[in-house]
Structure 1
């Protein structure tokens, strides 16, 4: 193939250049993240102590095979293309430096190619013409080149146009990768910033609590010190009076008599005083807040551009974004109404149930007082009571329309009335409560007060969602068996 135009050659070289040494790849090796680099010296110089290697582009840690970087897979396609590009560059230089040689026959090297065989579509020498092409139609090489040159050139141009489209696509991929790397870095920076802010707030809260503890301690110590100083003053006065009288008593009766009145007054003052009582202090005690582990946030994957979704209005029978209504459970659909987020009057990693009015304003939150851990499905019965299944607590919570806690039923176990990782819930026309007891591979029925009634099904693998159809049939989805079952006559 003739040398590619400079633009194509430059694009080829750009795609086949190692981002470390900025030269054509030499024995290219592919990392697990998909990026390619030269084995030596590029990757060999990047390997740190203990064989650690981090991709220079994606910054991902790469686990090396036992052979080290030499054991990484080779990219034979890139290696072949680099070698072809090197040869092309070398041949192009030789063509410019050397005069054009005479075309010799490959079968008869001493003979010059003089004619073109139209039947075999190859140039031949006079000896070939006599031996194998004597009765074939021939023409001169110059005329054949003129006749076929335009066709060959058209194919070359078409091939180069196709290559250009592929190279353009590769450039798009490269730009997309660059954008992804930048977005990844921005996401990581946001996570780190959120973490630092949370640490700062925790540090400020810690300092505040320590300051309160220190102030309480200082107040108590001040009380003790005040009492200590008061008692020491009493001791000092008594000790001085007694010591002076004792010394004069030892020296003679005249001096002793002079201290009698003073000592009588001092001792008399303290004789009527009540004995010191223990001081009342109030030491500070730390009571940690029983809250879930703080959540920095969530990493979400943006969906591909698509036609705009129509919003689904909130109905009176169900809550948008919930997992069911009084006829049964429905998993969230792509078209939905959402509200909340992180902040005041909004939602953040909820471990309870938040009740909002029709415009999405937070009204109240329930469940935290009862220790709700992992609410999974929610339904509303015919009387407006709210029922919530909790996977981690293995029970169902029941609240009235205003959000006041009524009762809970279930509890971890496999006996009658017990549940294990309950999921879907619904109520029938009589108000009975039907629960997909997923962990026990069964479907249970309770009355409206939470009393066990019966096992509806015990031969399921992982019942997940339940619903009552318009004709009273019970519909159960089994995620373990990948099927849906319909039960007739489930009422008591």
Structure 2
């Protein structure tokens, strides 16, 4: 048999359950810690102040640590169950100051709050917030000052309270389920994060081991080279030592002959021995006075570049921690409708690396690193075959096209000038390693990214290189792999580096800021500055990022555009009348996008 529930819960009992264990008073803004213990916001604030500047707070009951975001206690989760119970208790108390809280039955107070006598009170005035006995309720309902008050019988109060309790119970159950669901999500996220961190740590370890193995292998090879060189030189010197020893023995014998001759008085014997001594002397003199190459034997080590600089300038990679979803990201612009149309789709879906627009409406597209195509009135009119592997294309102020060509292999890259018909005019630079993006500043200087050499070449319109931007002031590389470049009207330079970063430089090539995607698995391609003072960044995996020229992420370009979705953007340019944005994609599509402001 089930145990019967108590007929009522006293106000004192409920107050004890809803009291903070620190201040021993009813909770004020109850906040829950990671260990699920609840305390008042002011009490937790005092604890936090005592542990400043730590970003963690220790539970006074179980000693478990809880991380406090930015040291702001108000950022902790509110205990909504406790907050609901506090609200309910306050409402019940307001219905009868001297009565117990009734959970079942129809027990009422024995004290009339009007006549101040102990009587059955079965009427409650909602306006006066008083319990009345039957005798006092009659004049209360007749007096002009109180006859309009709302009074309720005990049965109505109980029914109403029970109905309200049902609503509260349902809300609390919903809160409980929501909290449990969020708790499970947090636990799953923690587990996933732990797995990801372990995986990344393993990748870092493997990358480090690989780098160490490569350095060790090269060290062993160099040590073997020096051992071989020393061995070869040592063998020559040993031969020299042997010869010197033999000559020394001959001289010793010759000296002995000389002594014998000097002691002899026989002219015939002296003449014979003198000839023999002279022969020994000539032989020894010729061998011993031969050119000695010992001083020429030396070993030097010529490094390709200082090892310490190479190690400090290079990196094993970058840790990128971002969102895996873009669903909750802001969109740009938030007060405009973006419309778009498909201008052209290349025949074989080649991915587009560069795009430029001429005044007559022609669009030049570098696609799939094997052709330059000219599009006019949505028809692919011509394919330029003299280009080997085109990548970047831009219209110069001189109304010519500048095209980078990666060539057949490293070191075969070039910068070419074409007329607006797409016909080859001249080569202004060649022998580049791997030229990619190209842009022109307000002075007509051409900037070319070289991905393999990790630098940006700055050259005159005739092709004379005036600067090579590669190292920072402290000798470190400025770039990992520069691929795309754009320059605004103030000659500020924006570079897409390694597919992971966008870097902004002033006109003197001083680095001002670096932007990395807030999303995981971002892959940056082309970038473009617009007249509206924003920067477009093509992210192959997530869409088009919109940045301020200070590097602030403003949102993703709003989609769809007239039911058209631009997937995997790779290249940008403004069309000839600058009224729309031309976007190339990995599928060989060219879109024209416009934004219309709304009221």
Q: State the TM-score bracket (shorter-chain normalisation).
A: 0.5 to 0.7
Aligned partners of 2:168, 2:489: CA distance in 1, in Å?
64
Matched, 1:399 2:405: yes
Q: Spell out, residue by residue over 1:171-222, the C-alpha distance to the aligned partner (whole angstroms, 9 max, x if none).
A: 2222222222232333333322222111111000000010111011111111
Residue equivalent to 1:432:
none
Aligned partners of 1:212, 1:438: CA distance in 2, in Å?
46
Q: Following superposition of structure 1 onto structure 2, how do residues 27-176 of structure 1 map, counting pairs within 5 Å?
A: 27=41, 38=44, 51-53=53-55, 73=74, 78=79, 81=82, 103-116=110-123, 123-125=131-133, 128-129=136-137, 132-133=140-141, 144-176=153-185
Q: CA deviation at 1:316?
A: 2.0
- 1:318–1:324 Cα contact (<8 Å) kept: no
Q: CA deviation at 1:156?
A: 1.2
Question: Any idea what SS the aligned residue of 1:383 has?
Answer: strand
Q: Spell out, residue by residue over 1:3-35, the C-alpha distance to the aligned partner (whole angstroms, 9 max, x if none).
A: 99x9xx99xx9x965335x53325468xxxxxx
Matched, 1:439 2:488: yes
Question: Any idea what SS the aligned residue of 2:153 has?
Answer: helix
- Number of aligned residue pairs: give it: 362
Q: Spell out, residue by residue over 1:300-349, the C-alpha distance to the aligned partner (whole angstroms, 9 max, x if none).
A: 6333689xxxxxx973275346564885489xxxxxxxxxxxxxxxxxxx
- Aligned Cα root-mean-square deviation (Å): 6.0
User: Which of 301, 326, 329 is the matching residue for 2:323?
Assistant: 301
- 1:54–1:60 Cα contact (<8 Å) kept: yes
- Alpha-carbon distance change, 181 to 380 in structure 1, aligned in 2, over 3 angstroms: farther
User: Which of 195, 207, 221 is the matching residue for 1:198?
Assistant: 207
User: Which of 412, 415, 418 is the matching residue for 2:443?
Assistant: 415
Aligned partners of 2:391, 2:65: CA distance in 1, in Å?
44
Q: CA deviation at 1:475?
A: 4.3
- 1:324–1:379 Cα contact (<8 Å) kept: no
Aligned partners of 2:256, 2:40: CA distance in 1, in Å?
107
Q: Spell out, residue by residue over 1:60-105, the C-alpha distance to the aligned partner (whole angstroms, 9 max, x if none).
A: 79665xxxxxx855879659947967998xx9xx999xxx995423
Residue equivalent to 2:304:
287
Larger relative contact order, structure 1 or 2 (CA cutoff 8 Å, min sep 6)? 2
Residue equivalent to 1:316:
347
User: Which of 382, 387, 391 is the matching residue for 1:388?
Assistant: 391
Identify unmatched segments of 5+ residues in structure 1: 30-37, 65-70, 307-312, 331-352, 356-364, 367-377, 423-435, 443-458, 486-492
- 2:81–2:172 Cα contact (<8 Å) kept: no
Residue equivalent to 1:226:
235
Question: Any idea what SS the aligned residue of 2:392 has?
Answer: strand
- 2:33–2:66 Cα contact (<8 Å) kept: no
> Comparing both structures, which one devotes a greater share of its residues to strand?
2
Identify unmatched segments of 5+ residues in structure 2: 1-7, 19-26, 59-63, 94-99, 329-343, 375-381, 395-400, 418-437, 450-484, 492-529, 537-571, 583-592
- 1:241–1:266 Cα contact (<8 Å) kept: yes
Aligned partners of 1:180, 1:76: CA distance in 2, in Å?
17
TM-score where L is the length of structure 1: 0.52
User: Which of 189, 194, 198 is the matching residue for 1:189?
Assistant: 198
> Comparing both structures, which one devotes a greater share of its residues to helix?
1
Aligned partners of 1:263, 1:25: CA distance in 2, in Å?
115
TM-score where L is the length of structure 2: 0.45
